Copies of this chain bind each other. A is one copy, B any other.
């Protein structure tokens, strides 16, 4: 199946013309970011925590300390969700009302499972690390058994998902087109910046390939409306 089924849970109600349920497109958005926002129920409210992730097939993998409240709460919930979102630009219309942002956002719903098998945990940590910065797993010292034992790894099934994408120019009311107000998009770029070597880094160790090749480009090609 190349599309997620529309259900009461994942169906986009507001701005439904920007919605997509296409699996390839949803996976494309998931695979081009590495921070997801995971909400969990806590008492009479819910709390959201940003955390690193990787994708393995139809699961999102996250990790943390054995005492991580967010992860432990997710495991207690019947259903987990998470959102991944790229901010691609500011949409500046002639009217304040039609101001918006361009973005690519995915929301995933599914059950959270504890990964207990030692090899599956190690593989999950490799997938998360490689999703953040490809090539780094092979450069760094991999986790020891003690470190593995101190790490909670959780897989969240991508049972239901939907995306919302806005990637066009400003859409003003026709009555406003004659106003002497500029309209357009100010793109926002997310880019690798300065490389800051640790002062305690062993002399002679060169900047690794993973760092030199790192590329984070958070916006899709943008067409005008």
**Could you list which residues of chain A lie within 8 angstroms of chain B, going by C-beta atoms?**
9, 13-14, 35, 37-41, 43-50, 52, 64-65, 67-69, 77-83, 85, 87, 89-90, 92-97, 99, 101, 103, 105, 107, 109, 125, 129, 132-133, 136-137, 139-144, 147, 151, 169-170, 172, 176-202, 205-208, 210-211, 214, 216, 219, 222, 224-225
User: Nearest residue in B to A181 (C-beta to C-beta)?
Assistant: B140
User: Nearest residue in B to A222 (C-beta to C-beta)?
Assistant: B196
Besides the contacts A95-B141, A186-B192, A196-B224, what 16 more A-B pairs have beta carbons closer than 8 Å? Answer: A13-B67, A41-B46, A47-B81, A90-B132, A92-B208, A99-B129, A99-B140, A133-B186, A141-B179, A169-B199, A181-B205, A183-B200, A187-B195, A187-B196, A199-B224, A199-B225
- On whether the beta carbons of A96 and B50 are closer than 8 Å, the reply is no
- Please measure, in the bound complex, the distance between the C-alpha atom of A180 and the C-alpha atom of B203, giving whole angstroms: 9
- On whether the beta carbons of B189 and A190 are closer than 8 Å, the reply is yes
CB contact between A207 and one of B83, B182, B206 (< 8 Å): that residue: B182
Known A193-B187, A202-B179; contact A147-B97, beta-carbon cutoff 8 A: yes
